[in-house]
Amino acid sequence: MKNKAKLLWLCVCLAVIILPGCKKESSTSPQTILKLAHSLDITHPVHKAMVYMGERAAEKSGGRIKVEIFPNEQLGNEKESIEALQLGYLAMTKTSTAPMEGFVPRMKVFGIPYLFRSTEHAWNVLNGPIGKELLIAGENKGLRGLCYYDAGSRSFYTKKEVHTPADLKGLKVRVQNSIMSMKMVEAMGGSPTPIAWGELYTSLDQGVVDAAENNPPSFRTSRHYEVCKFYTLDQHTMPPDMLVISTRVWEKLSPEFKQILQEAVDESVEYQRKIWAEAVEKDMKTVQEAGVKVIYPDKKPFQDAVKSVWDEFEGTEIGELIQRIQEVK
């Protein structure tokens, strides 16, 4: 009986291991199921955009494409989800460009502080040749970008007032698993501490870190404003979110399904940019009503502090990308 139980358990494990991110629901049903995992709360505008994308894909395919979404790190953090894409166990994930640095080195460019002059400049880059080439820069690593979602600008939220980079000195600042994020915080005088998003609330509450940095919707939906009562809008970076699909899964899709999925994704981008703007305004009001003090600092000291990060990439591939981005009007 013990051997039979062990054999049954092994079969279950193997079934889980070989379960693809893209599958046919049954031999009698032509429905293709695409599993999409991400780390955000279901009230976040980016999650809502992906729900919309799934609905449009289902409508356009007559129900033959079904996108199953797993939010809140149910299937792992961003790094783990990206790795699952490479293996083909997961179809899609939403990730910031920061964790992508470890898989596609050219993504480091999005971590350059104050890279974009404005939101308009950022979208001119993302919708242009540079943005398009970066979307597919990871295809040889098993990762194909489908689109960029608006993730606004990232700013520091802390337990004490921060008006200049000098105020960050000695603070343990949570950063994404990103070498560029670490370089930026170090240049500003803080102590960068990589922590998974799902662990951050507890880490802030227990004093493992003193601060973090993110956009207003993420600050609000994570409830980090309950712990950090100061939000300094230095707007140091504007890294977009990316919707990424496993190339193994993408190659299994028919030309018709590829077109339908990409159309649904493109429509979700327009929808997301609209609800993002609304969410930023609403969430800024919410956190202030909850007692958060919003600080509007002079950005020049912050820009001056990170000049060393720019200088480090002169004469490199990233430096060339920076130059090309600066030339975009």
Phi and psi for 157 in degrees, rounded to 5? -120, 135
In words, the CATH class of domain 154-238+292-327 is alpha beta
Compute the C-alpha angle 125/131/136, nearest 5°: 175
Q: Which residues of the chain have pLDDT under 70?
A: 1-29
* Per-residue pLDDT, 30: 75
Amino acid letter, 195: I
In words, the CATH class of domain 25-151+239-283 is alpha beta
* Per-residue pLDDT, 5: 39
Domains 25-151+239-283 and 154-238+292-327 share a fold: yes
* Per-residue pLDDT, 202: 98
> What is the pTM (predicted TM-score) of this model?
0.88
Measured CA to CA in angstroms, residue 31 lies from 18, 65, 133, 266, 327 at distances of 19, 6, 31, 22, 45
> What are the domain boundaries of the chain?
25-151+239-283, 154-238+292-327
Tokens of 110: 């999005």
- CA 295 to CA 156: how far, in whole Å? 10
pLDDT tens digits along 52-108 = 999 999 999 999 999 999 999 999 999 999 999 999 999 999 999 999 999 999 999
- CA 162 to CA 82: how far, in whole Å? 34
* Per-residue pLDDT, 99: 93
Measured CA to CA in angstroms, residue 303 lies from 34, 40, 112, 115, 310 at distances of 42, 29, 11, 10, 10
- CA 178 to CA 168: how far, in whole Å? 19
* Per-residue pLDDT, 23: 54
